[in-house]
Amino acid sequence: MHHQFLTSFFPLFFSHHSSPSTTSLQSTLEKPKQVQLTRFDRIKAKYKGPQITISPEVEAEVGFSYSAFDDAVAATDYSFNRNDVVKGTVVQYDKGGCIVDIGAKASAFLPLQEAALIQDGVSIESLIEIDEERNFEIISEEDENGQLMVSIRRIQYREAWDQVVAKQETDEAFDAECVSVNRGGAIFLVNGLRAFLPGSHLTGRLPDEDLIGQTLPLKFLEVNQEENKLVVSNRRAVVEAQMADLSRGDVIDGLVKALKPYGAFVEVGGMSGLLHISQISMDRIVDLEKVLQPGQKIKCMIIDHDKVNGRIALSTKTLEPEPGDMIRDPERVYDMADETARIYLEKQEAERKKREESAQNIVLGLGDALDDLGSSDKSSDNLDSLLS
């Protein structure tokens, strides 16, 4: 068996040596400009089958000569590879797309999904016209019939990203329309690209169904073409003048954005603040959802703020006229909020003074003892200096 294989192999090997191609190989080494013979030319040289000889009368009959044809063929450069951008003309509509003539052997196919960046589910006729000439990108290799698939969407996608990157350089605010809403935020269409707006960056409202179709001013948060990440912010685009005025003890309106086991996130003057569960009411709160709902407008007091990190600590406990009102009757709390706050602040002030006085008394008492010890410099007359 092995012997047979070897013997059948050898004649092939020898015939290869005796063919004229080796001599031409030698000559190619001497004359590097010689044209390489294609497989077809080699077959033609050895062909012994029936040949069709074309007489010169045929050329006259047909109206053109072989030399003209030859020149034309030599002039053509046929290369259609994947990711090439070629010019083409739409020739006819077809089911699921349209047929495009790009000068290749077979007419290329443009699927409906690849015809436009923004998919509205419309028909192919509305997106592109017959005999329209534009650039297409080849997105597939030739199939068994030699047909390629082309796309307009890829080109538009790249152009859209270039525009977006340019916009980010200038960092200017722009308008965009919301197309869908999900748990984390909303999706906006920017230049045909889908950009994500996180819920925490949306001012003045919650990401809910009403947002779809609305146009809002936005600025870019993150633009990353390689990872296909495009994040925008409404908060950055909206001017926040109230930020500078906020201080401890202010009573302001807030919008409940989200509920967590440990409290609620409330948006206050463009910044996000935390209303801790222990700070909502004097009484213990069993079920947070019964008291607060996302989207609810409430009044709250700022008890602490960290401008550096952009964090605010809020409280409604201090606004309760009677302890437990937040659970029983929140409306009453909001109505009397300013009043209650004023009372609370006065009480705080009064308590602070009392604490100061008692501290003074202690120090005074200490002062007598210290006098007994013999340090007569620290007399009660210099109490203020001691306390300051």
Q: Would you tell me which residues interact with another protein (CB under 8 A)?
A: 38-41, 43-44, 47, 49-52, 54, 58-59, 61-66, 68-69, 72-73, 76-79, 91-92, 94, 99, 101, 103-107, 109, 142, 145-147
Strands 229-233 and 215-224: antiparallel
Q: What is the smallest separation between the CB atom of 110 and another protein, expressed in angstroms? A: 12
Q: What is the smallest separation between the CB atom of 126 and another protein, expressed in angstroms? A: 19
* Closer residue to another protein (CB): 147 or 296: 147
* Closer residue to another protein (CB): 107 or 203: 107
Q: What is the smallest separation between the CB atom of 137 and another protein, expressed in angstroms? A: 19
Locate 331 and state its tokens: 């409306």
Q: What is the smallest separation between the CB atom of 92 and another protein, expressed in angstroms? A: 5
List, as one string, the DSSP characters of 64-126.
S-HHHHHHHHHH------TT-EEEEEEEEEETTEEEEE-SSSS-EEEEGGGS-SS-----HHH
Residue 368, CA atoms < 13 Å, CB-side half-sphere = 5
List the beta strands (DSSP E) in the chain: 85-94, 97-101, 108-111, 133-138, 150-151, 174-181, 185-190, 193-198, 215-224, 229-233, 251-260, 263-268, 271-276, 297-306, 311-315
Q: What is the smallest separation between the CB atom of 73 and another protein, expressed in angstroms? A: 6
Locate 197 and state its tokens: 């707006």
Contact 225, 165 (CB under 8 A): yes
Q: What is the smallest separation between the CB atom of 43 and another protein, expressed in angstroms? A: 7
* Closer residue to another protein (CB): 2 or 46: 46
* Closer residue to another protein (CB): 58 or 243: 58
* Closer residue to another protein (CB): 68 or 85: 68
* Closer residue to another protein (CB): 145 or 385: 145
Q: What is the smallest separation between the CB atom of 128 and another protein, expressed in angstroms? A: 16
User: 74: Cβ–Cβ under 8 A, 6 or more apart, which residues?
Assistant: none
* Closer residue to another protein (CB): 54 or 362: 54
Contact 263, 250 (CB under 8 A): no
